[in-house]
């Protein structure tokens, strides 16, 4: 037994070592810069386009702040909200145009955390922007400002892989939570039908779509299987190229259908998935948008 168990004992640390090596391996500085800009663009859109100020007049009785807003009872003044939006949007723009990108990214993220926290403090736990906020945390550590910075490769890989790991964990956890709280009945019962019926009752734009899905057992049963399967299988996105393509297409479709049927906005999840799991630099090179010689010289601020 002693002879057999020794390799088994060594297997766990060696796998952890392999994961650690994978996370902290060198990366492509150009890809890092592209991803950081994509995330900054997402920050810009979410900060600038949502009407946070419409919450300013909410009665205090309807406000139940998230933990970091609990120092105040009600909603902050509308001027403070607009100031956060302006500051956050300008900082996100700063990342996009390459002006002090590391500091600007941190400021934009902080403003978005504050604003999205206000939105999350009025009802049930909101997940719309939570994943984006968590996945962006590794990018708060200052990385290279330019692709040709000395040592840029060593600082470019881990933020992207850590963010990918975070996203994988989140999808997997959502699937596991369904099994923990509902078991396989989440798929085998009429659960998805009632979700669609509820969506149809509350829909303002296209109630006919969830109504139609709810009326076709094959559709809502397939949707339930596909949804839970996607969430539980999402870790495979890190393993194989074809799995990555299929899973990305699957989750993008899932979030778009959620928007159409339940009018729940998970667009920031789509944006994060596409930014993190598609190598846009390699794609650009294959399509000759980025030349090989230009790549070596290119310094992206």
Judged by CB under 8 A, the chain residues 145 through 204 that form the site for another protein are 145, 149-152, 154-155, 158-159, 162, 165-166, 169-170, 173-174, 177-178, 180-182, 185-186, 189-191, 193-195, 197-198, 200-201
Interacting positions 35-54 with another protein (CB under 8 A): 50-51, 54
Q: How far apart are CB 17 and another protein at their closest, in Å?
A: 6
Residue 27 as a binder of another protein (CB under 8 A): the answer is no
Residue 12's CB is within 10 A of a number of other CB atoms, namely: 9
- Whether 21 and 87 have beta carbons less than 8 Å apart is answered as no
Q: How far apart are CB 44 and another protein at their closest, in Å?
A: 18
Residue 217 as a binder of another protein (CB under 8 A): the answer is yes
- Whether 129 and 46 have beta carbons less than 8 Å apart is answered as yes
Residue 290's CB is within 10 A of a number of other CB atoms, namely: 18
Residue 257: exposed, middle, or buried by beta-carbon count in 10 A (0-12, 13-18, 19+)?
middle
C-beta closer to another protein: residue 155 or 298 = 155
Residue 2's CB is within 10 A of a number of other CB atoms, namely: 5
Q: How far apart are CB 177 and another protein at their closest, in Å?
A: 4
Residue 17 as a binder of another protein (CB under 8 A): the answer is yes
Residue 74 as a binder of another protein (CB under 8 A): the answer is no
- Whether 201 and 212 have beta carbons less than 8 Å apart is answered as no
Q: How far apart are CB 126 and another protein at their closest, in Å?
A: 8
C-beta closer to another protein: residue 14 or 286 = 14
Q: How far apart (Å, rounded) are the C-alpha atoms in residues 184 and 241?
A: 29
Largest Cα–Cα separation, the chain: 70
User: With CB under 8 A, what is the number of residues at the site for another protein?
Assistant: 77
Q: How far apart are CB 162 and another protein at their closest, in Å?
A: 4
Residue 295 as a binder of another protein (CB under 8 A): the answer is no
Residue 60's CB is within 10 A of a number of other CB atoms, namely: 10
What kind and span of H or E run contains 77? none
Q: How far apart (Å, rounded) are the C-alpha atoms in residues 34 and 258?
A: 28
- Whether 138 and 162 have beta carbons less than 8 Å apart is answered as yes
Residue 149: exposed, middle, or buried by beta-carbon count in 10 A (0-12, 13-18, 19+)?
middle
C-beta closer to another protein: residue 162 or 233 = 162
- Whether 278 and 31 have beta carbons less than 8 Å apart is answered as no
Residue 59 as a binder of another protein (CB under 8 A): the answer is yes
Q: Which two tokens stand for residue 79?
A: 């001027």
Q: How far apart are CB 195 and another protein at their closest, in Å?
A: 5
Residue 240 as a binder of another protein (CB under 8 A): the answer is no
Interacting positions 111-130 with another protein (CB under 8 A): 113, 116-117, 119-120, 122-127, 129-130
Q: How far apart are CB 285 and another protein at their closest, in Å?
A: 24
Residue 24 as a binder of another protein (CB under 8 A): the answer is yes
Single out the residue of 3, 9, 61, 242 in contact with another protein (rule: CB under 8 A).
61
């Amino acid at each position: 037994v002693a002879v057999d168990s020794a390799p088994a004992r060594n297997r766990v640390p060696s796998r952890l070592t392999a994961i650690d090596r994978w996370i902290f391996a060198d990366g492509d500085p150009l890809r890092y810069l592209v991803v950081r800009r994509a995330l900054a663009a997402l920050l810009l859109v979410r900060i600038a386009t949502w009407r946070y100020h419409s919450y300013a007049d909410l009665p205090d009785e309807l406000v139940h702040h998230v933990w970091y807003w609990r120092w105040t009872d009600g909603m902050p003044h509308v001027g403070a909200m607009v100031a956060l939006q302006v500051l956050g949007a300008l900082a996100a723009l700063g990342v996009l145009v390459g002006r002090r990108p590391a500091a600007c990214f941190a400021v934009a993220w902080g403003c978005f955390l504050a604003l999205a926290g206000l939105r999350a403090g009025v009802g049930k736990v909101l997940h719309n922007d939570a994943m984006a906020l968590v996945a962006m945390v590794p990018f708060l550590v200052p990385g290279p400002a330019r692709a040709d910075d000395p040592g840029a490769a060593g600082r470019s890989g881990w933020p992207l892989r850590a963010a990918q790991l975070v996203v994988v964990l989140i999808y997997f956890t959502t699937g596991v939570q369904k099994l923990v709280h509902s078991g396989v009945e989440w798929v085998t019962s009429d659960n998805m039908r009632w979700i669609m019926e509820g969506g149809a009752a509350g829909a303002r734009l296209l109630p006919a779509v969830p109504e139609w899905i709810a009326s076709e057992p094959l559709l809502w049963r397939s949707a339930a299987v596909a949804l839970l399967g996607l969430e539980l299988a999402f870790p495979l996105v890190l393993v194989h190229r074809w799995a990555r393509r299929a899973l990305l297409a699957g989750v993008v479709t899932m979030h778009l259908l959620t928007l159409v049927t339940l009018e729940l906005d998970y667009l920031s999840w789509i944006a994060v998935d596409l930014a993190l799991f598609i190598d846009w630099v390699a794609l650009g090179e294959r399509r000759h948008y980025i030349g090989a010689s230009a790549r070596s010289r290119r310094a992206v601020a």
